[in-house]
Amino acid sequence: MIPDRIARMFNQAYSQVFPDDRLTLGLMTPLIPPAGVLADPVTEKELARRAEACGFAALWTRDVPLMIPQAGEVSALDDPFLWLGMLAGATSTIAVGTAAAVLPLRHPLLLAKSALTLDRLSGGRFLLGVGSGDRAEEFAAFGMTAEQGGERFRAHWEVVHAVLNDALDDAPNEAARQQLMRATGGYQVLPQPAQRIAMLAVGSARQSLQWIAANADGWASYHREEQRQQGRIGLWQQALAQRAAGAAKPFIQSLNLDLLDDPDAPSEPITLGMRGGRHALLEYLRRLHGYGVGHVLLNLARQGRPRRDVMDEIGREVIPQLG
């Protein structure tokens, strides 16, 4: 359970996506991602409004700086902050988040300013998920090696955290603040927000789990076989006890989902996810919540049913049962 005092420190997005009494669902966008070409913004804004009406808690997007083939596919994705700004402008309550911005490849002062701006313009609906990146070609294009990614991640994290949240911490890091002032010549990036913007580590981030527990406001990882995921969540909770004084920090899981027409279709595994009917999905989500998962980020199958039909069914038959 997230204590009320801590929940009040964060913006609207945090309490909306990570309530202490139920599991919430989010969607990866673009919701209709054409292979190798850009998604249609008109369609995506309409689908964002539909997701909000269906009761999804968040819309997420990835940061893919270069169109480098991966697993046989090429992704053409708009800048994540501009993309989420468009979705936030098309909606009114649903949270928006990065999963994840590639922290080592972005200048930390500019990333922090983008985060502050998006959170302000969306009315406190932004969550900042950051990762270390996994494409060696991208590191080379940005003048570094993949092996430098972990160190660069930590250095950039300190700067971004100092801009967004340090003054709002129970024990502000004076050394980090002084480092930030030296980096900016003594100038602020923007005025300090009234509430914290959650900084989530996505994937391993090339860090130890203990580092993530001590520094991040939550951890997002991928789908695993249930017993392995239970073990992973147990390690997360142990790390929180050791490095975060037992603080309640959410565990987020992604899930590739191929939802079938037949509501009674049994669950079967697919790569990083499941295929099945809504009853199997609901039972699986309930088990995840019991293990300690706070939010599930759904990647809807590209070749499956129409997105609108899947979203409507989940909104009508699944989300109301998760309370």
Q: Tell me, what's the pLDDT at 170? A: 67
Q: Tell me, what's the pLDDT at 7? A: 58
Task: For residue 70, report the phi and psi dihedrals to the nearest 5 degrees.
Answer: -145, 130
Return mean pLDDT, the chain. Answer: 94
Question: CA 246, CA 34: separation in Å to the nearest integer?
Answer: 43
Number of residues assigned to the chain? 323
Question: CA 142, CA 241: separation in Å to the nearest integer?
Answer: 37
Say if residue 5's pLDDT is above 60: no
Residue-wise pLDDT for 10-55, tens only, equals 999 999 999 988 999 999 999 998 888 999 999 999 999 999 999 9
Report residue 2 as tokens: 């997230």
Report residue 286 as tokens: 């309930």
Q: Tell me, what's the pLDDT at 36? A: 83
∠ at Cα 297 (294, 301), nearest 5°? 150
Q: Tell me, what's the pLDDT at 221? A: 98
Entry pTM:
0.95
Q: Tell me, what's the pLDDT at 241? A: 97
| pLDDT band per the 50, 70, 90 thresholds, residue 4 | low
Residue (of 238, 239, 274, 267) closest to 253 by Cα position: 274
Residue-wise pLDDT for 105-163, tens only, equals 999 999 999 999 999 999 999 999 999 998 889 999 999 999 999 999 999 999 999 99
CB 74 within 8 A of CB 35: yes
Q: Tell me, what's the pLDDT at 323? A: 81
Residue-wise pLDDT for 218-264, tens only, equals 999 999 999 999 999 999 999 999 999 989 999 999 999 999 999 99
- Residue/partner pairs of 256-260 with CB below 8 Å, 24 or more apart: 256/223, 256/299, 256/301, 257/281, 257/298, 257/299, 257/300, 257/301, 257/310, 258/301, 258/304, 259/300, 259/301, 259/304, 259/305, 259/310, 259/313, 259/314, 260/305
| pLDDT band per the 50, 70, 90 thresholds, residue 201 | very high
Q: Tell me, what's the pLDDT at 29? A: 98
| pLDDT band per the 50, 70, 90 thresholds, residue 91 | very high
∠ at Cα 304 (299, 308), nearest 5°? 75
